[in-house]
Amino acid sequence: MESYIKKLRDIKSSSLSSVIYRQLEEMILAGKIKSGERINESQLATALQVSRAPIREACRQLEKHGMVEVYANRGTFVRSIEAEEVEELYDVRAALEALAGERAAERMTSKARKELKTRFAAMEKFAKEGSVVDYYEANTEFHLEIIRISENKSLAGIYDSICKQVSLFRKSSLSLPGRLRISLGQHQEILAALLSGDGKEAGTSLRHHVLDAGHALVSALVKTKLRNRKTLSNPTRR
């Protein structure tokens, strides 16, 4: 957290909320602030040496992105999500990305091919390094590039809304054992289909990739719930 305090001293107050937003996002994604846990504004303000105003603004941004829920007179809590909601969101995302893949394959240019190859190369590098955060960022750019190449503004708008709701859980799913390797392999298939101009294969590969990621996350959520129930039913004796 020391590095963030230094950044806060070096930037204008108008940018404070953006830096705090990033810090909170990383804390949530790293599990330092757990699902259902309240964000303590006073404690955070003291730790970061700032007022509570930019923290509140950062929390509002987190709420817009579906990462937290704000309750009047109670505070801000990290959002919890049910397996059923994950399935619904990933079903919609899979359909959108399949359509984007089909359209993108029809609109491939030399520039588009170069961009996709560059994004994939970054993903490959971070996968080898085991860097989930960096891989996630490169992965996001890879998918956004496909959306851009599809040249469908309506699709892009809906996709953006869906992604903001699942952003927290997308990154968390990549932390599951073996997911980086599996994800990279699936993206290699997607890239190959797009570069060859095979819209049908690109759409099929994207749909399979998104649904597979959703199933992996649902499985993890179910296991976590069972583990938590077991812990509650068998508390450690003191």
**What distance in Å separates the CA atoms of residue 20 and residue 11, rounded to the nearest whole number?**
12
The domain locations on the chain are 2-78, 83-227
Q: Kindly tell me if the per-residue pLDDT of 228 is higher than 60.
A: no
For the beta carbon of residue 188, count every other beta carbon within 10 angstroms. Answer: 14
| Cβ atoms of residues 39 and 28 within 8 Å | no
Q: What percent of the chain has pLDDT over 90?
A: 44
Average of pLDDT values for 156-182? 79
Q: Which CATH number fits domain 83-227: 1.10.287.110, 2.60.40.3080, 1.20.120.530, 1.10.10.60?
A: 1.20.120.530
**Segment among 49-58, 125-134, 221-230 with least mean pLDDT:** 221-230
pLDDT at 9: 57
> Domain 2-78, what fold?
Arc Repressor Mutant, subunit A (1.10.10)
Rounded to 10 degrees, the C-alpha dihedral 227/69/58/130 comes to 30
For the beta carbon of residue 113, count every other beta carbon within 10 angstroms. Answer: 15
Q: Which two tokens stand for residue 34?
A: 């757990």
Say how far residue 208 (Cα) sits from the centre of its chain. Answer: 18
pTM of the model: 0.70
